[in-house]
Amino acid sequence: MLPSFTGPVRWPLGGLALADDVASLLELEAAEFAAVLGTPVHIDLDGADDGGPDTWAVRVDPHVAAATLEAEARSRRLVLALPTPSDLLDGVNLLHSLAHAPTAVVQDVEAATYAETADRIRAELAHVYPYAELRGLDLVRVAERYDHLRGLEGVEFWDEAARWVAELGDAHTQLITPGPRFHPPYVAQMRADGAVLLEVPDDTAAWAAGVRPGHVLTVADPGAWLARTGASPHQHALVAGRRFLAAEGAARRFEAYGPDGVRRAWTEERRARPSVVARGNQVHIRSFAPEVPNRLREALARANPDEELVLDLRGNVGGSLVAAAEARRLFVRRAATFGSIAFTTGRGTLAPAQPLTIRPDDEPWPGRVRVLVDALTYSAAEDFLHPLVGLPHVEVVGGPTGGGSGRPHTRLLKDGVRLSVSTAITFTRDGRPIEFRGISGCSR
Protein backbone atom coordinates (compact mmCIF):
# COMPACT_ATOMS: atom_id res chain seq x y z
CA MET A 1 0.00 0.00 0.00
CA LEU A 2 1.13 3.53 -0.74
CA PRO A 3 0.79 6.77 1.24
CA SER A 4 -1.96 9.20 0.24
CA PHE A 5 0.09 12.08 -1.06
CA THR A 6 -1.48 15.56 -1.08
CA GLY A 7 0.79 17.12 -3.68
CA PRO A 8 3.76 16.47 -5.98
CA VAL A 9 6.29 14.06 -4.55
CA ARG A 10 9.87 15.24 -4.15
CA TRP A 11 12.50 12.57 -4.82
CA PRO A 12 15.89 13.76 -3.52
CA LEU A 13 18.78 11.61 -4.78
CA GLY A 14 21.76 13.71 -3.76
CA GLY A 15 24.71 11.80 -2.34
CA LEU A 16 24.11 8.63 -4.35
CA ALA A 17 26.61 9.54 -7.08
CA LEU A 18 24.41 8.05 -9.78
CA ALA A 19 25.91 7.07 -13.10
CA ASP A 20 24.78 9.32 -15.94
CA ASP A 21 22.76 6.60 -17.63
CA VAL A 22 20.91 5.76 -14.39
CA ALA A 23 20.08 9.41 -13.74
CA SER A 24 18.88 9.83 -17.33
CA LEU A 25 16.76 6.69 -17.11
CA LEU A 26 15.02 7.91 -13.95
CA GLU A 27 14.26 11.27 -15.55
CA LEU A 28 12.93 9.57 -18.71
CA GLU A 29 10.60 7.43 -16.62
CA ALA A 30 9.25 10.13 -14.28
CA ALA A 31 5.78 9.64 -15.77
CA GLU A 32 5.88 5.98 -14.77
CA PHE A 33 6.54 6.83 -11.13
CA ALA A 34 3.80 9.47 -11.24
CA ALA A 35 1.33 6.89 -12.59
CA VAL A 36 1.95 4.61 -9.61
CA LEU A 37 2.05 7.35 -6.96
CA GLY A 38 -0.92 9.22 -8.41
CA THR A 39 0.85 12.57 -8.40
CA PRO A 40 3.77 14.24 -10.25
CA VAL A 41 7.27 13.26 -9.16
CA HIS A 42 10.02 15.88 -9.08
CA ILE A 43 13.43 14.20 -9.26
CA ASP A 44 16.15 16.21 -7.52
CA LEU A 45 19.48 14.61 -8.41
CA ASP A 46 21.44 16.87 -6.04
CA GLY A 47 18.97 17.39 -3.20
CA ALA A 48 18.87 15.93 0.29
CA ASP A 49 15.95 14.60 2.30
CA ASP A 50 14.64 17.30 4.63
CA GLY A 51 12.31 14.94 6.48
CA GLY A 52 9.20 16.62 5.11
CA PRO A 53 5.99 15.03 3.83
CA ASP A 54 5.24 14.12 0.21
CA THR A 55 8.78 12.83 -0.17
CA TRP A 56 10.37 9.68 -1.54
CA ALA A 57 13.50 9.38 0.58
CA VAL A 58 16.44 7.14 -0.30
CA ARG A 59 19.07 6.14 2.22
CA VAL A 60 22.03 3.78 2.04
CA ASP A 61 22.38 1.47 5.03
CA PRO A 62 24.92 -1.39 4.81
CA HIS A 63 23.06 -3.16 7.62
CA VAL A 64 19.98 -3.60 5.43
CA ALA A 65 19.96 -7.11 3.95
CA ALA A 66 18.17 -6.12 0.74
CA ALA A 67 16.49 -3.15 -0.89
CA THR A 68 13.45 -2.27 1.25
CA LEU A 69 10.62 0.11 0.33
CA GLU A 70 8.35 1.30 3.14
CA ALA A 71 5.26 3.50 3.08
CA GLU A 72 4.89 5.87 6.04
CA ALA A 73 1.20 6.75 5.93
CA ARG A 74 1.12 9.36 8.69
CA SER A 75 4.09 11.33 7.42
CA ARG A 76 3.12 10.85 3.74
CA ARG A 77 6.56 9.51 2.90
CA LEU A 78 8.15 6.64 1.02
CA VAL A 79 11.49 5.43 2.35
CA LEU A 80 13.76 3.28 0.23
CA ALA A 81 16.64 1.70 2.15
CA LEU A 82 19.51 0.23 0.12
CA PRO A 83 22.51 -1.90 1.11
CA THR A 84 24.59 -0.04 -1.52
CA PRO A 85 23.88 2.71 -4.09
CA SER A 86 24.11 0.09 -6.85
CA ASP A 87 20.89 -1.49 -5.50
CA LEU A 88 18.84 1.58 -6.46
CA LEU A 89 17.14 0.15 -9.55
CA ASP A 90 16.20 -3.07 -7.74
CA GLY A 91 14.70 -0.88 -5.05
CA VAL A 92 12.82 1.29 -7.54
CA ASN A 93 11.31 -1.87 -9.04
CA LEU A 94 9.57 -2.47 -5.72
CA LEU A 95 7.28 0.52 -6.31
CA HIS A 96 4.74 -1.38 -8.43
CA SER A 97 4.77 -4.24 -5.94
CA LEU A 98 4.15 -1.94 -2.97
CA ALA A 99 1.19 -0.40 -4.80
CA HIS A 100 -0.75 -3.67 -4.58
CA ALA A 101 0.86 -5.17 -1.45
CA PRO A 102 -1.39 -5.72 1.61
CA THR A 103 1.44 -4.43 3.81
CA ALA A 104 3.34 -1.16 4.07
CA VAL A 105 6.74 -2.76 3.41
CA VAL A 106 8.16 -4.80 0.52
CA GLN A 107 11.69 -6.17 0.17
CA ASP A 108 13.80 -7.41 -2.70
CA VAL A 109 14.02 -10.88 -1.18
CA GLU A 110 13.08 -14.34 -2.41
CA ALA A 111 9.80 -16.02 -1.56
CA ALA A 112 10.15 -18.60 1.20
CA THR A 113 8.30 -21.40 -0.62
CA TYR A 114 7.26 -22.33 -4.15
CA ALA A 115 3.62 -21.87 -3.17
CA GLU A 116 4.44 -18.32 -2.10
CA THR A 117 6.31 -17.85 -5.38
CA ALA A 118 3.18 -18.84 -7.33
CA ASP A 119 1.15 -16.35 -5.32
CA ARG A 120 3.72 -13.65 -6.06
CA ILE A 121 3.56 -14.34 -9.79
CA ARG A 122 -0.24 -14.22 -9.70
CA ALA A 123 -0.28 -10.89 -7.84
CA GLU A 124 2.29 -9.23 -10.10
CA LEU A 125 0.56 -10.31 -13.32
CA ALA A 126 -2.88 -9.33 -12.05
CA HIS A 127 -1.86 -5.85 -10.92
CA VAL A 128 0.97 -4.83 -13.26
CA TYR A 129 0.49 -6.47 -16.67
CA PRO A 130 -1.18 -3.87 -18.96
CA TYR A 131 -2.09 -5.79 -22.13
CA ALA A 132 -4.97 -8.08 -21.16
CA GLU A 133 -7.52 -6.12 -23.20
CA LEU A 134 -5.16 -5.70 -26.17
CA ARG A 135 -4.57 -9.45 -26.27
CA GLY A 136 -8.10 -10.51 -25.38
CA LEU A 137 -6.96 -12.25 -22.19
CA ASP A 138 -8.83 -13.11 -19.01
CA LEU A 139 -5.95 -13.04 -16.51
CA VAL A 140 -8.03 -14.67 -13.78
CA ARG A 141 -8.88 -17.67 -15.94
CA VAL A 142 -5.30 -18.01 -17.12
CA ALA A 143 -4.10 -17.97 -13.51
CA GLU A 144 -6.70 -20.55 -12.47
CA ARG A 145 -5.29 -23.03 -14.97
CA TYR A 146 -2.01 -22.86 -13.06
CA ASP A 147 -3.35 -23.29 -9.52
CA HIS A 148 -1.50 -26.61 -9.42
CA LEU A 149 1.85 -24.73 -9.30
CA ARG A 150 1.40 -24.29 -5.57
CA GLY A 151 2.05 -28.03 -5.20
CA LEU A 152 5.14 -28.18 -7.44
CA GLU A 153 8.80 -27.56 -6.70
CA GLY A 154 12.10 -27.13 -8.52
CA VAL A 155 12.36 -27.83 -12.25
CA GLU A 156 8.70 -28.86 -12.56
CA PHE A 157 7.60 -25.62 -10.95
CA TRP A 158 9.71 -23.41 -13.21
CA ASP A 159 8.65 -25.25 -16.36
CA GLU A 160 4.98 -24.70 -15.60
CA ALA A 161 5.55 -21.13 -14.40
CA ALA A 162 7.27 -20.29 -17.69
CA ARG A 163 4.29 -21.67 -19.61
CA TRP A 164 1.93 -19.58 -17.48
CA VAL A 165 3.82 -16.35 -18.10
CA ALA A 166 4.24 -17.18 -21.80
CA GLU A 167 0.45 -17.38 -22.25
CA LEU A 168 0.35 -13.60 -21.86
CA GLY A 169 2.03 -13.29 -25.24
CA ASP A 170 4.58 -10.58 -24.45
CA ALA A 171 8.34 -11.02 -24.85
CA HIS A 172 9.10 -8.59 -22.01
CA THR A 173 6.86 -10.52 -19.61
CA GLN A 174 9.05 -13.48 -18.82
CA LEU A 175 11.04 -15.37 -16.21
CA ILE A 176 14.70 -14.32 -16.10
CA THR A 177 17.07 -16.96 -14.77
CA PRO A 178 20.31 -15.90 -13.06
CA GLY A 179 23.75 -16.09 -14.61
CA PRO A 180 25.63 -14.55 -17.54
CA ARG A 181 24.63 -15.48 -21.07
CA PHE A 182 25.29 -14.36 -24.60
CA HIS A 183 23.43 -14.57 -27.88
CA PRO A 184 25.36 -15.97 -30.84
CA PRO A 185 24.89 -13.74 -33.89
CA TYR A 186 22.51 -16.06 -35.75
CA VAL A 187 18.78 -15.65 -36.35
CA ALA A 188 16.69 -18.80 -35.98
CA GLN A 189 12.99 -19.58 -36.16
CA MET A 190 11.63 -22.36 -33.98
CA ARG A 191 9.41 -24.93 -35.65
CA ALA A 192 8.26 -28.48 -34.93
CA ASP A 193 11.45 -30.18 -36.20
CA GLY A 194 14.00 -27.78 -34.71
CA ALA A 195 15.19 -24.21 -35.17
CA VAL A 196 15.76 -23.25 -38.80
CA LEU A 197 18.61 -20.80 -39.29
CA LEU A 198 17.64 -17.67 -41.19
CA GLU A 199 20.93 -15.78 -40.84
CA VAL A 200 24.47 -17.12 -40.37
CA PRO A 201 27.18 -14.42 -40.47
CA ASP A 202 30.23 -15.42 -42.47
CA ASP A 203 32.61 -14.66 -39.58
CA THR A 204 31.13 -17.27 -37.22
CA ALA A 205 32.24 -20.77 -36.33
CA ALA A 206 28.95 -22.05 -37.80
CA TRP A 207 29.84 -20.63 -41.21
CA ALA A 208 33.33 -22.12 -41.00
CA ALA A 209 31.73 -25.51 -40.27
CA GLY A 210 29.68 -25.25 -43.47
CA VAL A 211 26.40 -24.23 -41.85
CA ARG A 212 24.23 -21.93 -43.95
CA PRO A 213 20.77 -20.32 -43.80
CA GLY A 214 18.16 -23.05 -44.14
CA HIS A 215 20.07 -25.54 -42.00
CA VAL A 216 18.13 -26.75 -38.96
CA LEU A 217 19.52 -26.68 -35.44
CA THR A 218 18.97 -29.81 -33.38
CA VAL A 219 16.54 -29.02 -30.54
CA ALA A 220 15.54 -31.65 -27.99
CA ASP A 221 11.97 -30.39 -27.53
CA PRO A 222 10.96 -27.58 -29.91
CA GLY A 223 7.38 -27.61 -28.63
CA ALA A 224 8.53 -26.83 -25.09
CA TRP A 225 10.54 -23.82 -26.29
CA LEU A 226 7.48 -22.49 -28.10
CA ALA A 227 5.22 -23.10 -25.09
CA ARG A 228 7.62 -21.41 -22.66
CA THR A 229 8.12 -18.32 -24.85
CA GLY A 230 5.76 -15.38 -24.79
CA ALA A 231 5.75 -12.96 -27.72
CA SER A 232 3.48 -11.23 -30.21
CA PRO A 233 2.20 -13.80 -32.74
CA HIS A 234 4.23 -12.50 -35.68
CA GLN A 235 7.51 -12.73 -33.74
CA HIS A 236 6.79 -15.72 -31.50
CA ALA A 237 8.78 -18.38 -33.39
CA LEU A 238 11.71 -15.96 -33.82
CA VAL A 239 11.84 -15.11 -30.12
CA ALA A 240 11.66 -18.81 -29.23
CA GLY A 241 14.57 -19.43 -31.59
CA ARG A 242 16.55 -16.60 -30.02
CA ARG A 243 15.98 -17.92 -26.50
CA PHE A 244 17.07 -21.39 -27.53
CA LEU A 245 20.28 -19.93 -28.97
CA ALA A 246 21.17 -18.08 -25.75
CA ALA A 247 24.37 -19.54 -24.31
CA GLU A 248 25.64 -19.57 -20.74
CA GLY A 249 29.31 -19.09 -20.04
CA ALA A 250 31.94 -18.39 -22.69
CA ALA A 251 30.98 -20.92 -25.37
CA ARG A 252 28.29 -23.30 -26.53
CA ARG A 253 28.21 -26.40 -28.69
CA PHE A 254 25.61 -26.57 -31.49
CA GLU A 255 24.58 -29.13 -34.09
CA ALA A 256 22.64 -28.59 -37.31
CA TYR A 257 21.76 -30.51 -40.44
CA GLY A 258 21.25 -29.27 -43.98
CA PRO A 259 19.26 -30.37 -47.03
CA ASP A 260 21.89 -33.04 -47.68
CA GLY A 261 21.14 -34.62 -44.29
CA VAL A 262 24.73 -34.16 -43.11
CA ARG A 263 25.01 -33.10 -39.46
CA ARG A 264 27.58 -30.48 -38.62
CA ALA A 265 28.70 -29.60 -35.08
CA TRP A 266 30.64 -26.56 -33.92
CA THR A 267 31.41 -24.46 -30.87
CA GLU A 268 30.50 -20.78 -30.94
CA GLU A 269 32.59 -18.71 -28.55
CA ARG A 270 31.50 -15.48 -26.97
CA ARG A 271 33.20 -12.41 -28.44
CA ALA A 272 32.50 -8.73 -28.54
CA ARG A 273 30.77 -7.38 -31.63
CA PRO A 274 30.36 -3.69 -32.46
CA SER A 275 26.94 -2.24 -31.74
CA VAL A 276 27.14 -0.02 -34.84
CA VAL A 277 28.55 -1.16 -38.18
CA ALA A 278 28.80 1.52 -40.88
CA ARG A 279 29.85 1.38 -44.51
CA GLY A 280 29.28 4.73 -46.15
CA ASN A 281 25.57 5.45 -46.03
CA GLN A 282 24.72 1.94 -44.83
CA VAL A 283 24.48 1.88 -41.02
CA HIS A 284 23.48 -1.21 -39.06
CA ILE A 285 22.59 -0.71 -35.37
CA ARG A 286 22.76 -4.20 -33.88
CA SER A 287 21.70 -3.22 -30.38
CA PHE A 288 21.27 -0.07 -28.34
CA ALA A 289 24.36 -0.30 -26.18
CA PRO A 290 25.35 2.82 -24.20
CA GLU A 291 27.99 3.81 -26.78
CA VAL A 292 25.53 3.90 -29.70
CA PRO A 293 24.83 7.67 -29.78
CA ASN A 294 28.55 8.48 -30.12
CA ARG A 295 29.17 5.66 -32.61
CA LEU A 296 26.22 6.83 -34.66
CA ARG A 297 27.49 10.42 -34.70
CA GLU A 298 30.83 9.14 -35.98
CA ALA A 299 29.11 7.12 -38.70
CA LEU A 300 27.00 10.08 -39.82
CA ALA A 301 30.06 12.31 -39.99
CA ARG A 302 31.51 9.92 -42.60
CA ALA A 303 28.26 9.51 -44.58
CA ASN A 304 27.18 11.59 -47.59
CA PRO A 305 24.18 13.81 -46.66
CA ASP A 306 23.29 14.19 -50.34
CA GLU A 307 22.53 10.48 -50.54
CA GLU A 308 19.87 8.51 -48.71
CA LEU A 309 21.00 6.99 -45.41
CA VAL A 310 19.96 3.37 -44.90
CA LEU A 311 19.54 2.63 -41.21
CA ASP A 312 19.23 -1.10 -40.55
CA LEU A 313 17.39 -2.06 -37.34
CA ARG A 314 16.60 -5.62 -38.38
CA GLY A 315 17.36 -8.07 -35.58
CA ASN A 316 17.83 -5.24 -33.07
CA VAL A 317 15.94 -6.47 -30.01
CA GLY A 318 16.64 -3.33 -27.98
CA GLY A 319 18.97 -2.45 -25.15
CA SER A 320 19.37 0.88 -23.37
CA LEU A 321 16.33 3.17 -23.47
CA VAL A 322 18.64 6.08 -22.66
CA ALA A 323 20.89 5.32 -25.64
CA ALA A 324 17.88 4.95 -27.94
CA ALA A 325 16.36 8.23 -26.75
CA GLU A 326 19.60 10.11 -27.36
CA ALA A 327 20.33 8.51 -30.73
CA ARG A 328 16.90 9.18 -32.24
CA ARG A 329 17.37 12.93 -31.76
CA LEU A 330 19.93 12.78 -34.60
CA PHE A 331 17.09 12.23 -37.10
CA VAL A 332 14.50 14.70 -35.79
CA ARG A 333 14.54 18.27 -37.12
CA ARG A 334 12.13 20.06 -34.81
CA ALA A 335 10.66 19.68 -31.35
CA ALA A 336 7.42 17.73 -31.48
CA THR A 337 4.94 15.48 -29.72
CA PHE A 338 5.12 12.09 -31.42
CA GLY A 339 2.67 9.97 -29.45
CA SER A 340 1.74 9.07 -25.91
CA ILE A 341 2.31 6.44 -23.25
CA ALA A 342 0.07 5.03 -20.54
CA PHE A 343 1.67 3.36 -17.53
CA THR A 344 0.14 0.83 -15.19
CA THR A 345 -0.68 2.01 -11.69
CA GLY A 346 0.44 -1.25 -10.10
CA ARG A 347 -3.17 -1.79 -8.98
CA GLY A 348 -4.59 -3.39 -12.10
CA THR A 349 -5.41 -0.21 -14.03
CA LEU A 350 -3.73 2.19 -16.45
CA ALA A 351 -3.09 5.82 -15.62
CA PRO A 352 -4.13 8.41 -18.23
CA ALA A 353 -1.81 8.53 -21.24
CA GLN A 354 0.93 11.15 -21.17
CA PRO A 355 2.36 12.89 -24.27
CA LEU A 356 5.75 11.82 -25.59
CA THR A 357 7.91 14.68 -26.83
CA ILE A 358 11.29 15.01 -28.48
CA ARG A 359 13.71 17.76 -29.40
CA PRO A 360 16.34 17.52 -32.12
CA ASP A 361 20.07 17.16 -31.70
CA ASP A 362 22.14 20.30 -32.25
CA GLU A 363 23.34 18.82 -35.56
CA PRO A 364 20.69 16.43 -36.89
CA TRP A 365 21.20 14.40 -40.06
CA PRO A 366 20.10 16.69 -42.94
CA GLY A 367 19.33 14.05 -45.57
CA ARG A 368 16.74 11.38 -46.23
CA VAL A 369 16.59 8.20 -44.16
CA ARG A 370 15.32 4.73 -44.99
CA VAL A 371 14.89 2.52 -41.91
CA LEU A 372 14.81 -1.27 -42.32
CA VAL A 373 12.86 -3.22 -39.67
CA ASP A 374 11.59 -6.74 -39.02
CA ALA A 375 9.77 -8.70 -36.32
CA LEU A 376 12.91 -8.77 -34.15
CA THR A 377 13.11 -4.96 -34.10
CA TYR A 378 11.87 -4.62 -30.55
CA SER A 379 11.85 -2.78 -27.24
CA ALA A 380 14.33 0.14 -27.20
CA ALA A 381 14.68 -0.21 -30.99
CA GLU A 382 10.96 0.60 -31.26
CA ASP A 383 11.40 3.53 -28.88
CA PHE A 384 14.14 4.78 -31.22
CA LEU A 385 11.92 4.34 -34.27
CA HIS A 386 8.68 5.70 -32.81
CA PRO A 387 9.23 9.49 -33.29
CA LEU A 388 10.67 8.96 -36.79
CA VAL A 389 7.52 7.32 -38.14
CA GLY A 390 5.60 9.67 -40.43
CA LEU A 391 8.35 12.28 -40.80
CA PRO A 392 8.56 13.48 -44.42
CA HIS A 393 12.26 12.65 -44.73
CA VAL A 394 11.97 9.15 -43.18
CA GLU A 395 10.75 5.97 -44.86
CA VAL A 396 10.19 2.79 -42.82
CA VAL A 397 10.57 -0.43 -44.79
CA GLY A 398 9.49 -3.85 -43.52
CA GLY A 399 7.77 -4.90 -40.36
CA PRO A 400 5.70 -5.00 -38.41
CA THR A 401 8.21 -4.68 -35.62
CA GLY A 402 7.91 -6.86 -32.53
CA GLY A 403 5.31 -4.74 -30.77
CA GLY A 404 6.56 -4.06 -27.26
CA SER A 405 8.38 -0.99 -25.98
CA GLY A 406 7.35 -2.46 -22.64
CA ARG A 407 9.21 -0.62 -19.85
CA PRO A 408 9.43 -3.87 -17.84
CA HIS A 409 9.27 -4.03 -14.04
CA THR A 410 11.00 -6.93 -12.30
CA ARG A 411 10.32 -8.78 -9.05
CA LEU A 412 12.57 -11.34 -7.39
CA LEU A 413 10.88 -14.74 -7.05
CA LYS A 414 12.97 -17.72 -5.88
CA ASP A 415 16.18 -19.58 -6.83
CA GLY A 416 17.54 -16.31 -8.21
CA VAL A 417 14.76 -16.14 -10.82
CA ARG A 418 13.11 -12.80 -11.49
CA LEU A 419 9.75 -12.10 -13.05
CA SER A 420 9.75 -9.34 -15.65
CA VAL A 421 6.39 -7.70 -16.41
CA SER A 422 5.66 -4.96 -18.94
CA THR A 423 4.20 -1.78 -17.47
CA ALA A 424 3.15 0.45 -20.37
CA ILE A 425 1.24 0.82 -23.62
CA THR A 426 2.81 3.19 -26.15
CA PHE A 427 0.67 4.91 -28.78
CA THR A 428 1.55 6.42 -32.16
CA ARG A 429 0.53 9.93 -33.20
CA ASP A 430 -2.91 8.71 -34.27
CA GLY A 431 -3.53 6.75 -31.06
CA ARG A 432 -2.61 3.31 -32.39
CA PRO A 433 -0.93 1.06 -29.79
CA ILE A 434 2.54 -0.21 -30.69
CA GLU A 435 2.30 -3.08 -28.21
CA PHE A 436 1.21 -6.38 -29.75
CA ARG A 437 0.88 -4.77 -33.22
CA GLY A 438 4.28 -3.22 -33.90
CA ILE A 439 5.35 -0.56 -36.38
CA SER A 440 5.44 -1.16 -40.12
CA GLY A 441 6.17 0.79 -43.27
CA CYS A 442 2.57 1.99 -43.35
CA SER A 443 2.40 3.10 -39.68
CA ARG A 444 1.75 6.73 -38.79
Query: Across the strands, what pairs with 356?
Result: 339
Task: Assess whether the region 9-107 and the region 186-269 belong to the same CATH fold.
Answer: no
DSSP-derived secondary structure for 46-65: S----S-SSEEEEEE-TT-S
Fold of 186-269: Pdz3 Domain (2.30.42)
Fold of 276-427: 2-enoyl-CoA Hydratase; Chain A, domain 1 (3.90.226)
Write down the domain spans for the chain.
Answer: 9-107, 116-169, 186-269, 276-427
Predicted confidence pLDDT, tens digits, the chain (444 residues):
898 999 999 999 998 888 888 999 999 999 999 999 999 999 999 999 999 999 999 999 999 999 999 999 899 999 999 999 999 999 999 999 999 999 999 999 999 999 999 999 999 999 999 999 989 999 999 999 999 999 999 999 999 999 999 999 999 999 999 988 899 999 999 999 999 999 999 999 999 999 999 999 999 999 999 999 999 999 999 999 999 999 988 899 999 999 999 999 999 999 889 999 999 999 999 999 999 999 999 999 999 999 999 999 999 999 999 999 999 999 999 999 999 999 999 999 999 999 999 999 999 999 999 999 999 999 999 999 999 999 999 999 999 999 987 689 999 999 999 999 999 999 999 999 999 999 987 654
Fold of 9-107: Chitobiase; domain 2 (3.30.379)
Q: What is the pLDDT of residue 443?
A: 54
Contact 68, 87 (CB under 8 A): no
Give the alpha-carbon dihedral of 396, 397, 398, 402, to 10 degrees: -20
CA separation, residue 39 to residues 33, 129, 316, 356, 404 (Å)? 9, 21, 35, 18, 26
Report d(CA 6, CA 288) in Å as an integer.
39
Q: Quote the crossing angle between the two packed helices 20-28 and 321-328, to the nearest 10°.
A: 80
Report d(CA 318, CA 378) in Å as an integer.
6
For the entire predicted model, the pTM comes to 0.94
